[in-house]
Amino acid sequence: MRVESKLLSLVLLLNLVRYVAGYPLERLLIFEGLGTAMSESRQFFHTGFTTFDWATSYFYNFVMWATCVWVFYLAQSQVKGALLVRSLKIFALMWLFFASVSAIYMNHYAHPKAFYLWSIADAALVFALVGATNGLLFPYFFPATPARE
């Protein structure tokens, strides 16, 4: 199997885990606060999603996770630790980038900041989940994954 096919397969699997395992965690820990923040600023949020809106949302998320996996694939050999630890470190870096961009947008708009803060917290949860899952699944797709000494 070619590298591109392996990476694509891994990203598809990670997206499945993100929604199957992530959604119940988000419902338990995030959605109440996020929903409250959105309802307090209804004029800013599009919540009546059409099929096209859902498809594009899932596509954008797929691209985000594909980017994270690609960065991991390129960088993991330069990071110290077991594969799971390397994955968590790199996904934490990717989360920090996500959180930084979210904070930049939060700073530039006048509506309440709670949505962005809940979104950053949600991302911390799902980046940790997907990062851990990536660390566990990656060796099945790429058996030779040496760490930096």
Distance from the Cα of residue 35 to its chain's centroid: 19
Instruction: State residue 115's pLDDT score.
Output: 87
Choose between 49 and 127: higher pLDDT: 127
Please indicate, yes or no, if residue 149 is contained in any of the structural domains.
no
Instruction: Tell me whether residue 58 is in a domain.
Output: yes
Rounded to two decimals, what is the model's pTM? 0.90
**How far is the C-alpha of 85 from the C-alpha of 135, rounded, in Å?**
7
Query: Over pLDDT 70: what percentage of the chain?
Result: 97
Into how many domains does the chain fold? 1
118 belongs to a structural domain: yes
Q: Is 36 within the bounds of a domain?
A: yes
Determine, yes or no, domain membership for 93: yes
The answer, yes or no, to whether residue 148 has pLDDT greater than 60, is: no
User: Tens digit of pLDDT for each residue in 24-64?
Assistant: 999 999 989 988 888 887 777 777 889 998 899 899 999 99
Is 147 contained in some domain? Answer: no
Residue 51 one-letter amino acid: T
Q: Which residue range(s) make up the domain with 95?
A: 3-141
Q: Is 148 inside a domain boundary?
A: no
Question: What average pLDDT is seen over the chain?
Answer: 91
Neighbours of 44 (CB within 10 A): 12
